[in-house]
A and B are shown apart, each in its own frame.
Chain A
Amino acid sequence: MAKIKLALYWASSCGGCEIAQLQIGEKLLKLIDAADIVFWPVAIDVKYKDVEAMPEKSIDVCLFNGAIRTSEQEHMAKMLRDKSKTMISYGACANYGGIPGLGNLYNREMIFNRAYLETQSTDNEKGVTPQTSIDVPEGKLSLPEFFDTVRSLPQTVDVDYIIPGCPPEEKTTWLALEALIQNKLPPKGSIISHNVKAVCDDCPRTKNEKKVKKFYRPFEIEPDQEVCLLEQGILCAGVATAGGCGAMCLKANMPCTGCYGPVKGVTDQGAHFLSAVASIIDSTDPEEIASIIDDIADPAGTFYRYSLPDSLLRRAKVS
Chain B
Amino acid sequence: MSWEPRIVGFLCSWCSYRGADLAGTSRIPSAPNVKVIKVPCSTRVEPAFVIKAFQSGADGVLILGCHPGDCHYIEGNYKTMRRVPLLKKMLKQFGIEEERVRLDWVSASEGEKYASVVNEMTEKVRELGPFKANNGEGQHGKN
A and B associate = yes
**A97 to B: closest C-beta gap in Å:** 10
Given contacts A313-B133, A317-B132, A318-B143, contact A278 B79 (CB under 8 A): yes
Select the residue from A104, A147, A149, A319 with max chain B CB neighbours within 10 A. A149
Is A289 a contact partner of B85 (Cβ separation < 8 A)? Answer: yes
Question: B residues touching A (Cβ–Cβ < 8 Å)?
Answer: 46-48, 51-52, 54-55, 68, 78-79, 81-83, 85-87, 89-90, 93-96, 131-136, 140-143
Contacts of A279 in B (CB 8 A): 79, 82-83
Is B131 a contact partner of A277 (Cβ separation < 8 A)? Answer: no
Q: List 8 A-B contacts (CB under 8 A).
A: A105-B93, A105-B94, A149-B136, A270-B90, A271-B47, A277-B86, A278-B87, A313-B94
Least CB separation from A272: chain B residue: B48
Interface pick from A112-120, A164-172, A293-301? A293-301
**Restricting to A260-319, which residues have a CB under 8 Å from any CB of B?**
267-268, 270-272, 274-275, 277-279, 281, 283-284, 286, 289-290, 293, 296, 298-301, 303, 309, 311-319
Contacts of B141 in A (CB 8 A): 107, 147-149, 315
Given contacts A275-B83, A299-B86, contact A313 B93 (CB under 8 A): no
Select the residue from A104, A145, A289 with max chain B CB neighbours within 10 A. A289
Is A278 a contact partner of B83 (Cβ separation < 8 A)? Answer: yes
From B46, B81, B86, B134, contact of A315 by CB (8 A): B134
Least CB separation from A104: chain B residue: B136
Given contacts A314-B135, A316-B94, contact A145 B48 (CB under 8 A): no
Is B90 a contact partner of A303 (Cβ separation < 8 A)? Answer: yes
Is B140 a contact partner of A275 (Cβ separation < 8 A)? Answer: no
Contacts of B132 in A (CB 8 A): 317
Is B140 a contact partner of A147 (Cβ separation < 8 A)? Answer: yes
Is B82 a contact partner of A283 (Cβ separation < 8 A)? Answer: yes
From B54, B94, B134, contact of A300 by CB (8 A): B94
**A212 to B: closest C-beta gap in Å:** 10
Not counting A145-B140, A300-B94, A314-B135, a sample of 7 additional A-B residue pairs whose C-beta atoms are within 8 angstroms of each other reads A105-B93, A147-B141, A148-B136, A148-B143, A284-B78, A315-B134, A317-B134
Is B140 a contact partner of A267 (Cβ separation < 8 A)? Answer: no
Least CB separation from A286: chain B residue: B81
Least CB separation from A148: chain B residue: B141
